A and B are shown apart, each in its own frame.
Chain A
Amino acid sequence: MNWLTILGLLPLIGSAAVFLLPREKEVLAKQLALGISSLVAVAGLAMATSFDRGVSGFQFVEKYSWIPAFGINYGLGVDGMALLLILLALILTPVVILACWNEAEGGRWSVKTFFALLLILETMMIGVFAATDIFLFYLFFEAMLIPVYFLIGGYGSGERAAAAVKFLLYSLFGGLLMLASIIGLYVVSGDQLGAATFDVSELQKLSLNNQTELLLFLGFFIAFAIKAPLWPFHTWLPDAAKAATPGTSVLLLGVLDKVGTYGMIRFCLSLFPDASKQLGPTIIVLSLISIFYGAFLAIWQSNGDIKRLISYTSISHFGFITLGIFAFTAQGQSGSILYMVNHGFSTAALFLIAGWMIARRNSSKVADFGGLQRVTPLLAWTFFIAGLSSLALPGLSSFVSEFLVLVGTFVRYPVAAVIGTLGIILAALYILIPVQRALHGPVLPGNENLKDLNLREKIAIAPVIALIIAFGFFPQVLLNVINPGAQASVAALNIEGDK
C-alpha cells in the first residue's frame, strides 16, 4: 500500500471536488472540506498505528524513478519526526476548517476557493514532510508558497497584499539559496558517486571539503532560518500573521514554519555534519537572541496587536527549538522535535481564540478588550489555558519540550542554557500582561454583549486543549516515536567525548 501517496492525494482530490462546486453552495463547500480533512486525519492516525516505534529509519517507504535523466526519484517515507509533523497537519486542518467557518467571507475570491486552497495546502504539508528525495522536497517547499500566498493575499485583512508579497519574496530568496545548494550537492554527487542523485540517504555518503560544505550548509540553513523564522530573518512573520486570517496563521506558524526546523534536522545535520558542528555555537547565539528578542517584542505588543503578539512569541519559541537542535544532545534533539508538535497545538489554540475575539470585537488591539472573563468565561478560559501552554507551565505539554531543550542544552552549553532559562520569566510577562488586559479588569464599553463560544467553536477547540493537557502528563506517547530517530541523528554527528 502506498499509504503516504494516498494520504497526500486525498485532500488534493477533495480540493478539486470543492472547487468544482457551484459558487453559491458555500455551506456545502465547507462541509465537504471538513468531511475530507477529517477523513484524512482518521486515515493518517490509522496509518500511524502500524508505525514501528523501535527503529530509526524511514517507514512507509515508496520509491519510483521519476526523471531518470537527472536521477530524480519520487521518494516518500517518514521517520518519527516526519510522522508526527504530518499528524499535526492532519489534525489541525479540520480544526482550522471548523474553527474558521466564516472567515473566508471577506475574501477577494469565492468562499469555496478558500477551502479548496486549504486542502491543497494540506497535500503540500504532507508532501514536504514525507519527501525523501531532496528535489521532491524542494518542489513541495516552493509549491507550498502558492496556496499560502493566495490565502494571505486574497482572504486576509489590512495590508494583505503587501504582507503576502513580503512573505513570498523572503521565501523565494531562501528557496533560491537552497536550490543553489541542492544543485551543488547534485554536481558533487555526480563526481563522487558515479551517478548524480537527489536521494538524501545517498547524499549522506559524500565527503565534502570544508569550504564547500560550509557554503552548501549555509544555502540550506538560511532558507530554513527564514522559514522557521530565526532572528534576524524574521520580519516577514509578524506582518504575514497580522494580515492572514487566523486559520491561515495557524497553519503557517503551527505547521509550515516547522518545515524550517524540520529541514535543519533532516538536511543540515545529516548532510553537513561538520559544518553543523562548526557553526553550532553561532546558531546557539542566534537562537538565544531569538528567544529574548521575540519575547521582548511580544511584551511590547502586549499593548498592541494581538496577532503580532502571538507571532513574536513564536519567534521566541522557535529560538528554543533551534537551541535544542544545535545542542547536539539526545535530550535537546528529542525536545526540539516534541517542541515543534507542542508549539503547533498551543499556537493553534492562541490564534484561533484570538481570531474569535477579533471577529467578535472587530478589533485586534489588546487594549480594546477587557473584562472578558466576566462576559465570555469559556472564551477567556480557553485563551488562558493556551497562554499557559505558551509560557510552558509544568503540567502542560510545552513544559516537557522546553525543559528537555534546556536540559539538553545544559549538558553541552551550560551558559547558553542558563541564559535561555531566563527566558521563562519573559514568557510569563508576555502572556500574563495581555491576559490581564484582555480578560481581567472591568468590562470595557463595547464588550458587554460579546457572545461566548458557540457549539461549533467548542467542538473545534476542545481537542486542541485536551491534547495540550494530555501531552503534559503523557509526553512519552510522542517521545517513544521521536526518540529513535533523534538519537540516531545525534549519534551520526560523531561528537567527540560523547558516549
Chain B
Amino acid sequence: MNVTSQMLVFLIAIPLFSAALLLLGGRALDKVGHIIGTLASTAAFAVGVIEFLAMLGRAPENRAVTQPLFTWIEVGNFNVGATLLLDQLSVCFVLLITGVGTLIHIYSIAYMSHDKDRRRFFAYLNFFIAAMLLLVLGDSYLSLYVGWEGVGLASYLLIGFWNQKPTYATAAKKAFIANRVGDVGLSLAVMIAFVQFGSVSFSGVAEGIEAGQTSSLALNTLGLALLLAAVGKSAQFPLQAWLGDAMAGPTPVSALIHAATMVTAGVYLISRSHFVFDAASVAQLCVVIVGAITLLFGAIIGMAKDDIKKALAASTMSQIGYMILATGLGPVGYAFAMMHLLTHGFFKAGMFLGAGSVMHGMNDEVDMRKYGGLRKYMPITFATFGLGYLAIIGVPPFAGFYSKDKIIEIALDAGGAKGIILGSITLLGAAITAFYMSRVMLMTFFGAKRWEAGAHPHESPALMTIPMIVLAIGSVSAGFFFNMGDRFINFLSPIFHSGESGHGEKEHLLPPIVVSALALTAVAIGVSIAIAKYGRGKAIPAVAPSDVSLWTKVARRDLLQDEFNETLFMRPGQELTKALAVIDEKVIDGAVRGVGSITLDVASGLRKTQTGFVRSYALWITVGAVGILAAIAVMSL
C-alpha cells in the first residue's frame, strides 16, 4: 500500500536549482541561460513521465507514492512534515506543468531572443515550475501553501518582468494583493483543519472527516475558507480583477501561468479537498455559484475586448468558471473538471502562444482592430490557433467538445430547479464563448487588413511554431483520447470515488445526445452572430466605436470590477490610513507630549490645563478607550 519513491524530490529540485543557478550566475550565463532553463524543465518532465509510467504499472489502489523528506515544523501537537505525494490527481498536474511548461520554455527561446534579460526570464520560469510542482506535490495544506505563494511570487515577478513600465509594475502588485486576500482563506483553512482534526495533511483531514470528528458548521467554514483561497488564485468572482491586468507579462507567461497552470490551482485545491466539500453542502453550493457567476462574467467581458490577450484572459476566467462549477457538483464533477482543465491547458496555451506569434509578427500590436487577414501571412499560426478555437467552442471531435459537454451534462443533472438553472447558464456560456472566440478569429485572421504602417506580418520561427503544433495536436485529440472507454474517469476514480456513484447508470434529465445537440445549437448561434457582425464584408473600425450600448461600455470596463474595488476598499482604506496618521501624530504622540506639558504646567501653577488642546486629546483618548474596552469584552467571551 505505502509505496515510496526517492525521485519525487528531483521534480522540484532540478528546476529550483536551475533557477538559483541562473539568478546567481549573473551575466556570465547570459549566452546559455535559456538552454539550461529549458533542459531543467525537460528533465523534470522526464522524471514526471517515468513516475507516471511506474504508476500505471501498479494496481489502481497502490498508485499513490510518497517521499518523506524531513520534519518541517513541530511544536506540541502541531506537526508538519515536508513530505511529497504523487497520486493520480497530482500526476495529471505534473505532466501538464512540465509538459506544457517545457513547450513554453522552447517557445520562449525564440520569443524572448531580443530581450537582454532573457536569462532572468528563464530563471523565473524555472522557479515557477518548481513552485507549481511543490504546490501539487505537497501532502499537506501547509506545504501546498508554500508552493501556492511560490507560484504567486513567480507570477508577480513575471507580470512585472518589464516593470520599468509603471502600469506593468502596478499590474504585478495588483495580482499579488488579490492573491493575498485569497491566502487569508488558505491560512484560515489550515488553522481550522488543525483545530478540528489535529492534522493539516490531506490524509489526516480526510480521515478525521470520515471518523465524524467534526460539525457540519466547521466543515462548511473550512470549505468556504478553501473556496476563498481558490477564488483568489483562479481569478474567480469576486477576486477576478487581477487577471486581465496580468496580461502585462510576456505572452509565454500568459500561456503557461495565466492560462494553463497556475490559475487552475484553485480547481486543484477544491478537487484535492473533495472530502471536505462532499461533506459540506453549503460550501459546495457556494462553489457552484462562484463558478456559474464567473463563467458568465468572463464570457461577457470577453465579448467586449479588442486586446487579443485580454480577450483570451477573459475566456480563461470563464473556462475556469466551468471547472469550478463542475467541482461543486460532487464526485463525478471533480473528474470532469480535471478533464476540462487538461484540455483547456492544451488549447488555451496553444492559442496564447498563437497570439504571441501574431504579436511577434505585428510589432507587438495587441489590438485586434489593427489585425485582419493574417491567415495568408501566418499559415501555421492560423492553423494551430484555429484548431484551438474549434476545441474551445466545443466542436466535435475536438478536445473541448468532450470536456465541456460533460460539464453541461452534469450541470443539467444537478436536479430540480438547480439543474435547469445551471444547465441554462452553461449552455448560455457555450453560446457566448462561441461568439467571442469567433470574433477573435475573424478580427485576427480574416477580413480586410487593418494594419498599422510598418507592419510586416510573417510566420514565426520553428522554435515557436513547433510548440504551437504540439499543443494543437493535443487540442484535437486529447478529449477523444481521455473519453475513450471513460479511461480518464476510471483513472481518477480511486481518488474521487467517482466510479462508486454509478456514473452512467444514473437517470439523466436529458439524454446525452440531446445535451450535445443543445450545446451544438448554442455554439452555432454564437458563431452565426459573430459572422453576421464581423464576417466577410463587415467593416471593423480601427478605433472602437463609442456609440455603443451602455451594456457594451460596461463590459469593456470589465463590468466595473476596478471601480467596485476602488469604491469599496481602496478609497476607504486610504482615508483610514490618512486618519490614523493624523491620530498618531496629534492624539497619541500629542497625548504623551501633553502629559509632559501638563506636568510642566502643574509645576508652574496650573496655568494652561484648561486649553482646548489638552481637552481634545482627553476626548479622543476616552473615545478610543471605550472602543477598546468593548473589543476586550468581545474577546473575553
Which residues of A are interface residues toward B (Cβ below 8 A)? 232, 234-235, 281-282, 284-286, 288-289, 293, 296-297, 299-300, 329-331, 334-335, 371, 373-374, 388, 393-395, 399-400, 403-404, 406-408, 410-411, 413-418, 421-422, 424-425, 428-429, 432-433, 436, 440-443, 473-476, 479, 483, 486-487
Contacts and interface: CB of A to CB of B under 8 A. Distances in A.
B188 interface: yes
Given A331-B75, A331-B76, A334-B75, A436 B169 contact: yes
A473 B72 contact: yes
B153 interface: yes
Contact of A432 (B73, B177, B195, B580): B177
Contact of A282 (B82, B160, B632): B632
A417 B192 CA distance: 11
B413 interface: no
Lowest 3 CB-CB distances: which A-B pairs, in order? A330-B76, A440-B169, A440-B163
Interface string B189-213: 0111011000000000000000000
Contacts of A395: 146, 149-150
B635 interface: yes
Contacts, number: 146
B180 A331 contact: no
Contact of B187 (A296, A299, A424, A432): A424
A390 B435 CA distance: 47
A486 B577 CA distance: 36
Contacts of A436: 163, 169-170, 172-173
A432 to B, nearest CB: 5
A476 B74 contact: yes
B183 interface: yes
Interface string B232-268: 0000000000000000000000000000000000000
A428 B75 contact: no
A281 B577 CA distance: 26
Interface stretch (B37-45, B501-509, B584-592): B584-592
B633 to A, nearest CB: 8
Contact of A404 (B78, B170, B576): B78
A388 B153 CA distance: 9
Interface in B569-591: 576-578, 580-581, 584, 588-589
B169 A407 contact: no
Contacts of A428: 176-177, 180
B145 interface: yes
B453 interface: no
B166 interface: yes
Contacts of A296: 576-577, 580-581
5 contacts: A330-B77, A331-B76, A411-B195, A424-B180, A425-B180
A433 B148 contact: no
Max chain B C-beta neighbours (<10 A), residue from A285, A334, A393, A486: A285
A487 B76 contact: yes
A33 to B, nearest CB: 30
Contacts of A432: 173, 176-177
Interface string B163-185: 11110011011001100110110
A23 to B, nearest CB: 38
B163 A429 contact: no
B184 A425 contact: yes
B634 interface: yes
Contact of A285 (B142, B150, B628): B628
A475 B72 CA distance: 7
A293 B587 CA distance: 14
A356 B71 CA distance: 37
B636 interface: yes
A479 B160 CA distance: 36
B356 to A, nearest CB: 23
Contacts of A297: 577, 580-581, 584
B631 interface: yes
Contacts of B184: 421-422, 424-425
A125 to B, nearest CB: 26
Chain B contact residues, majority secondary structure:
helix
B76 A475 contact: no
A235 B634 contact: no
A415 B72 CA distance: 27
Interface in B544-601: 576-578, 580-581, 584, 588-589, 592
Contacts of A442: 164, 166
B303 to A, nearest CB: 32
Nearest to A169: B596
Contact of B164 (A299, A371, A415): A371
A330 B75 contact: yes
Given A395-B149, A487-B76, A418 B188 contact: yes
Contact of B75 (A286, A404, A421, A433): A404
Contacts of A394: 145-146, 148-150
Contacts of B188: 418, 421
B243 to A, nearest CB: 18
A284 B636 CA distance: 10
Contacts of A331: 75-76, 78
Nearest to A416: B635
A281 B636 contact: yes
Tell me the dominant secondary structure on chain A's binding face: helix
Contacts of A441: 163-166, 169
A440 B160 contact: yes
Contacts of B631: 285, 288
Interface in B269-293: none
B580 A235 contact: no
Contacts of A433: 173
Nearest to B187: A421
A443 B166 CA distance: 11
A483 B75 contact: yes
Given A393-B149, A432-B176, 11 more contacts: A284-B635, A285-B628, A296-B576, A296-B581, A404-B75, A404-B78, A410-B194, A425-B184, A436-B163, A441-B165, A443-B164
A440 B177 contact: no
A322 to B, nearest CB: 14
Interface in B613-629: 628
A407 B581 contact: no
A228 B589 CA distance: 17
A414 B176 CA distance: 26
Nearest to A480: B74
Interface in B380-410: none
Nearest to A235: B589
Contacts of B192: 410
Nearest to A238: B584
Interface in B55-88: 70-78, 82
Nearest to B174: A432
A235 B584 contact: yes
Interface string B514-549: 000000000000000000000000000000000000
A281 B184 CA distance: 23
Given A297-B581, A394-B150, A407 B194 contact: yes
Contacts of A288: 631
Given A297-B581, A424-B180, A285 B632 contact: yes
B407 to A, nearest CB: 32
Nearest to B180: A428
Contacts of B635: 281, 284-285, 413, 415-416
Contacts of A329: 76
A371 B149 CA distance: 25
Contacts of B181: 425
A417 B189 CA distance: 12
Contact of A403 (B153, B160, B166, B187): B187
A284 B82 CA distance: 32
Contacts of B78: 330-331, 404, 407
A483 B631 CA distance: 31
A404 B194 CA distance: 11
B593 to A, nearest CB: 9
A408 B634 CA distance: 19
Nearest to B164: A442
A397 to B, nearest CB: 12
